[in-house]
């Protein structure tokens, strides 16, 4: 959600800024802009729409200068128009500012500035912040930014330049990620590692309440109250090739096909088959502390919430610990019951999801132990939790999450096994689960080898306007996730339901034009879901079923089937979701949709 990039050094800034913005297109945006300093002249170019529009506009006469900032905006305050696009300037036009986040007290600040004669051009809270910095400016940009931010309530990641100090970038962070890229005779800033990795792998992560002053020959970090902060320099572990499409038509398809490797990478080094246990040093919980956990709360949003639901089934079945799954966006506002015997697990691919961060803060304040499952090394959630696991599934560029979902489920399976082995699970059962987990990468590969079968199914159902996804038990969350994938990228209205709940309302929607996707492996509730399929068929619905080999009963009832390999019941979601991801992808392509950048969506949602 929104992208920030900045550069100060000896090279021309414009191509670096534009390439950085291109690397962050996957995050979701609706306008883009850059500001470049050429000596004491500030050249601002911006445009509504995709980045290509801005590229065309500056192609004939690109801004010249070696200091600059760039931004892709996801509209919050004001529509996606050129005038609302970033950068914004102060009243004098000498200071330019870009901003991710929301300034909650912007209306009050704006009114105070209007009373002082300020004139605003846009509807944004960002322009208000730019004017506030300008109002404090008395020849020192660093102090003007610090003074302005001390008056601000809300979340922000900002980058500021001024014509009066053309060799300086000022950045600050509170709740929205900012990363410094440390180069040789040049320095960069971005809200996402992908914009930096082409130029440097040495990075510094700002924490909330910190700001940095960057010049070509160095940088320093301080708090808003002028206290110096020593920050460690971290290394990005992946290279540029991992965020290229590698011959695939879309990032989403590439990432679906990467899942045999990404699932294996998530498990690598953790599974101890001989003892039927897992090695998870990142949990940072002793055996006695684990035994003292009386309740678990999993908090997440979107796809991560669906993986959390699967985690609930795993933990309650295997470890026998009561587990709740909470929408992070609701958790902090409902006065949750949390204490020192509660373990709160926060799940986020980016590690920057604003709602999940807020829920995590609420849990910590109430004394809970916290655990994070994130994919991005150095992300805010990774730094805030007591312990956790990195998914290590590699960068995920497609907005619709795929490989992160399966890696989250695997991480939850490993956490569950650790909890269970310290409670009631036997050595033999632990070994059985590990053996099944180790088979999953090859089983996923066998599904992907038959992707053309799913593509044919997609061609048959691509013109649908509504779809229903049904599942029972641990595959009910798979139905939710399959429906979410379809609606995210194809814009077909789709809903996921527990199969038994269908007759309590959704059955009214079923007719001959309604495809109904049923996740129906041969598990403990197989007989029940056969009855649900018969109810759909009786009303003319077209059933697409995900089944195991040899399921003749469902094959006779379904319009179409897709076979997945057999595994333990609690691990089936890692396999049953793969054809649903492919189905969504091929339907979206068939409908001509922008698969990697679906409308109105952002990869990392960093505002409430």
Residues 249 and 194 in one domain: no
Domain boundary, last residue among 426, 444, 462: 444
Task: Find the Cα–Cα–Cα–Cα dihedral 507, 508, 512, 515, rounded to 10°.
Answer: -50
Which H/E stretch holds residue 190? Answer: strand 187-190
Q: Which residues fall within 8 angstroms of residue 208, CB to CB, at 6 or more apart? A: 173, 174, 175, 380
How far apart CA 603 and CA 420 sit, in angstroms, is 34
Residues 223 and 187 in one domain: yes
Residue 599 lies in a domain: no
The Cβ of residue 594 has, within 10 Å, a number of other Cβ atoms equal to 12
How far apart CA 309 and CA 325 sit, in angstroms, is 6
Return the SS3 of 168. Answer: strand
Residues 466 and 372 in one domain: no
Chain centroid to Cα 197, Å, comes to: 19
Residue 604 lies in a domain: no
- In this structure, what CATH number is given to the domain that contains residue 308? 3.40.50.10490
Domain boundary, last residue among 381, 416, 444: 444
What does the pLDDT read at residue 534?
A: 86
Domain boundary, last residue among 424, 444, 464: 444
What does the pLDDT read at residue 536?
A: 82
Look at residues 38, 35, 42, 43 and name the one whose alpha carbon lies nearest to residue 18: 35
Show the CA angle centred on residue 196, arms to residues 88 and 597, nearest 5°: 70
Question: Where are any strands of DSSP class E within 255-341?
Answer: 271-272, 277-278, 295-300, 323-327
Model pLDDT for residues 62-91, shown as the tens digit of each residue: 999 999 999 998 777 888 899 999 999 999
Residues 283 and 211 in one domain: no
Residues 479 and 569 in one domain: yes
What does the pLDDT read at residue 45?
A: 96
Q: Is the separation of the CB atoms in 343 and 369 below 8 Å?
A: yes
Chain centroid to Cα 143, Å, comes to: 34
What does the pLDDT read at residue 410?
A: 97
Residue 602 lies in a domain: no
Residues 269 and 207 in one domain: no
Return the SS3 of 15. Answer: helix
Residues 396 and 540 in one domain: no
What does the pLDDT read at residue 603?
A: 56
Residue 607 lies in a domain: no
Residue 606 lies in a domain: no
What does the pLDDT read at residue 602?
A: 61
Look at residues 309, 528, 546, 550 and name the one whose alpha carbon lies nearest to residue 450: 546
Residues 401 and 469 in one domain: no
Residues 190 and 269 in one domain: no
Give yes or no: 110 in active site. no
Structural domain total, the chain:
3
Give yes or no: 61 in active site. no
Strands 202-205 and 234-235: antiparallel
Which H/E stretch holds residue 529? Answer: helix 526-538
Q: What size, in residues, is the chain?
A: 608
How far apart CA 381 and CA 333 sit, in angstroms, is 19
Q: Divide the 608 residues of the chain into consecutive groups of 10 and give the mean pLDDT of each group.
A: 90 95 80 92 93 91 95 85 94 95 92 96 94 96 96 93 96 92 96 89 93 96 95 81 75 94 93 92 86 94 96 96 94 84 93 88 89 89 90 88 96 96 93 97 97 94 91 95 95 91 79 87 87 83 90 89 96 97 96 86 60
Q: Which of the residues 2, 159, 393, 593 is marked catalytic?
A: 2
Return the SS3 of 297. Answer: strand
Q: Is the separation of the CB atoms in 518 and 561 below 8 Å?
A: no
Residue 600 lies in a domain: no
How far apart CA 592 and CA 608 sit, in angstroms, is 31
Residues 400 and 255 in one domain: yes
Residue 603 lies in a domain: no
Token readout for 376 is 């991005």
- In this structure, what CATH number is given to the domain that contains residue 89? 3.60.20.10
The Cβ of residue 114 has, within 10 Å, a number of other Cβ atoms equal to 13
Residues 429 and 480 in one domain: no
How far apart CA 134 and CA 113 sit, in angstroms, is 11
Domain residues for the domain of 390 are 245-444
CA distances from 1 to 31, 217, 350, 385, 598 (A): 12, 30, 11, 23, 12
What does the pLDDT read at residue 1?
A: 56
Q: Which residues fall within 8 angstroms of residue 171, CB to CB, at 6 or more apart? A: 6, 157, 158, 159, 160, 178, 180, 189, 206, 211, 212, 214
How far apart CA 265 and CA 268 sit, in angstroms, is 5
Residues 484 and 361 in one domain: no
Give the CA diameter of the chain: 79
Computed over its alpha carbons, how large is the radius of gyration of the chain? Answer: 25
How far apart CA 1 and CA 17 sit, in angstroms, is 17
Q: Terminus-to-terminus CA distance in the chain, angstroms? A: 11
Residue 412 lies in a domain: yes
Strands 493-498 and 466-471: parallel
């Amino acid at each position: 959600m929104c992208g920030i990039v900045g550069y100060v050094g000896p090279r021309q800034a414009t191509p670096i800024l534009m390439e950085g913005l291109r690397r962050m297109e996957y995050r979701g945006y609706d306008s883009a802009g850059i500001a470049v300093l050429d000596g004491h002249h500030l050249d601002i170019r911006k445009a509504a729409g995709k980045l290509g529009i801005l590229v065309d506009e500056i192609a004939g006469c690109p801004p010249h200068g070696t200091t600059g900032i760039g931004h892709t905006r996801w509209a919050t305050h004001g529509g996606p128009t050129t005038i609302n696009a970033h950068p914004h300037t102060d009243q004098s036009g000498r200071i330019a500012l870009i901003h991710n986040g929301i300034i909650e007290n912007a209306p009050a600040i704006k009114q105070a500035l209007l009373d002082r004669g300020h004139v605003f051009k846009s509807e944004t809270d960002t322009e208000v912040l730019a004017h506030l910095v300008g109002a404090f400016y008395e020849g020192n940009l660093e102090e003007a930014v610090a003074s302005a931010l001390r008056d601000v309530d809300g979340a922000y990641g900002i980058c500021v330049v001024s014509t009066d100090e053309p060799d300086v970038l000022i950045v600050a962070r509170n709740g929205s990620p900012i990363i410094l890229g440390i180069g040789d005779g040049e320095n960069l800033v971005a809200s996402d590692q992908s914009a930096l990795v082409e130029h440097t792998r040495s990075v510094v992560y700002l924490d909330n309440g910190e700001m940095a002053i960057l010049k070509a020959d160095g940088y320093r970090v301080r708090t808003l109250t002028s206290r110096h902060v020593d920050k460690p320099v971290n290394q990005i572990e992946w290279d540029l090739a991992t965020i290229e499409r590698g011959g695939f038509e879309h990032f989403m398809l590439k990432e679906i096909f990467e899942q045999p490797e990404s699932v294996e990478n998530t498990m690598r080094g953790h599974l101890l088959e001989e003892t039927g246990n897992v090695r998870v040093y990142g949990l940072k919980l002793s055996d006695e502390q684990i035994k003292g956990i009386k309740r678990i709360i999993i908090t997440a949003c979107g796809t991560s919430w669906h993986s959390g639901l699967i985690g609930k089934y795993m933990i309650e079945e295997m470890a026998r610990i009561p587990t709740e799954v909470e929408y992070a966006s609701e958790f902090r506002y409902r006065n949750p019951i949390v204490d020192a015997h509660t373990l709160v697990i926060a799940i986020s691919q980016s590690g920057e999801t604003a709602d999940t961060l807020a829920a995590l803060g609420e849990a910590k304040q109430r004394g809970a132990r916290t655990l994070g499952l994130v994919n991005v090394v150095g992300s805010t959630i990774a730094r805030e939790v007591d312990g956790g696991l990195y998914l290590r599934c590699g960068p995920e560029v497609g907005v619709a999450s795929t490989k992160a979902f399966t890696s989250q489920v695997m991480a939850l399976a490993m956490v569950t096994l650790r909890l269970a082995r310290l409670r009631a699970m036997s050595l033999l059962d632990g070994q059985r689960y590990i053996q099944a987990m180790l088979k999953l990468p090859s089983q996923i590969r066998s599904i992907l080898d038959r992707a053309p079968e799913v593509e044919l199914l997609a061609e048959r159902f691509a013109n649908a306007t509504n779809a229903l996804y049904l599942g029972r038990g641990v595959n009910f969350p798979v139905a939710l996730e399959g429906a979410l994938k379809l609606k995210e990228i194809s814009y077909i209205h789709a809903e996921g339901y527990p199969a038994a709940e269908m007759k309590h309302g959704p059955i009214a929607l079923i007719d001959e034009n309604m495809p109904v996707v049923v996740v129906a492996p041969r598990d403990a509730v197989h007989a029940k879901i056969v009855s649900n399929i018969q109810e759909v068929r009786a009303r003319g619905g077209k059933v697409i079923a995900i089944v195991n080999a040899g399921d003749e009963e469902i094959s006779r009832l379904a319009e179409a089937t897709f076979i997945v390999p057999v595994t333990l019941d609690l691990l089936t979601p890692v396999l049953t979701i793969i054809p649903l991801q492919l189905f969504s992808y091929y339907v979206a392509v068939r409908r001509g949709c922008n698969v990697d950048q679906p409308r109105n969506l952002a990869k990392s949602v960093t505002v409430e």
